[in-house]
Amino acid sequence: MKQQHLFAMAIASSLLALTGVQAMTHDEYKVASTIIEANFQTEKAGCDNLHAGAWKVCMKQADGNHAVARAELEHLYKPSPGKARKVAEEKAKAAVEVTGAACASLSSDGGHACAQQAQAQAQADHGKAKAELLQLRG
């Protein structure tokens, strides 16, 4: 699962290197989009053999990876501050959802402590993302 994600990131990085600072061409966008969708299907299929909590965590991870990859692709295709913000939001949302699914699979006491820790981390990540966006604005 991770290998496919790393492969997709390598391809996206290659496309970024090819395009430099400029936006992607439509053909590059279509190829990258096809790869993202194929990786998403592969990741979801990798979750099929898991049960209960592990399956939920795996699916949240696959959904999160997909949403982040789509947002990154849109930003690479037509860069803008709004799309950069969308990437940061999708990363934070994915982290919260995966952690939430993992916490939900724990016992009630452990799950509650886990959820509190996850919420604190999400707030810290939100602050960090906000600071990064302010830097991008100059």
pLDDT of residue 18: 46
Q: How far apart are CA 4 and CA 1, in angstroms?
A: 5
In the chain, where the domains are located? 2-137
Q: How far apart are CA 15 and CA 28, in angstroms?
A: 7
Q: How far apart are CA 57 and CA 77, in angstroms?
A: 30
pLDDT of residue 136: 64
CB 53 within 8 A of CB 98: no
pTM across the whole model: 0.72
* Parts of the chain with a pLDDT under 70: 1-22, 107-111, 133, 136-138
